[in-house]
Amino acid sequence: MATGGGFQYWIADKAYFENYKSVGLIIDEMGQEFSLATGRELRIEHWGVMDPKDEEWFSKKAADQVKSNPWIVVRRLGVGLYSFWAPIDRGWKKSLQLGLLNLPLLMAGGIGLFVSWKKRSLGKSDFLFAALLGGYITLFAFIQSISGYYIAIIPIMVCWIISLWSRIFFNLKYKQPAGL
């Protein structure tokens, strides 16, 4: 089993704030840095660290960075939110293209949510869904979102956006499902 919160944090740190290279080169650099600092070889599989004690080293290093520079959290979230919708794993040019392709979806969702809120046609499940979606996105934005993690939520998001817009166009009131 591979672990990875702290390790993934540092992959993103190098990809976000240093001159981006391929993830493979970043992982090689991190392995060398780990070996120099600890005297042990870093075993990695599927972008995760195999030994939990080694993962602990990366997690502690990440916690130390956040403690010494709390503003890094804001900076990481900003870059991570961009990278969540426009992954940088294939370079910045491809990232911009993916961002532009996702822009209509984000605009439709944002406008639909705003208009539904103004018309008071949002229900409790809309707020629950928004909280779950926000939590999913924020987690990846902070830890590491250089790959296409957004793909997993597009079908659900499209269904929700259709639900929001159908209530707007047909002037429907939200009916609370039983049990919520």
Separation between Cα atoms, residue 32 and residue 44, nearest integer Å? 12
Mean pLDDT confidence for 137-164: 82
- Do residues 48 and 3 make contact, with C-beta atoms less than 8 angstroms apart? yes
Residue 10 lies in a domain: yes
Residue 75 lies in a domain: yes
Residue 81 lies in a domain: yes
Residue 83 lies in a domain: yes
Contact partners, residue 50, CB within 8 Å, separation at least 6? 1, 2, 3, 43, 44
Is the model's pTM score more than 0.75? no
Residue 178 lies in a domain: no
Residue 174 lies in a domain: no
**Range of the structural domain that residue 114 is part of:** 5-169
Residue 175 lies in a domain: no
pLDDT at 2: 47
Number of domains in the chain: 1
Tokens at 9, concatenated? 């944090």
| Local confidence band at 55 (pLDDT 50, 70, 90 cut-offs) | confident
Residue 179 lies in a domain: no
Mean pLDDT confidence for 61-88: 86
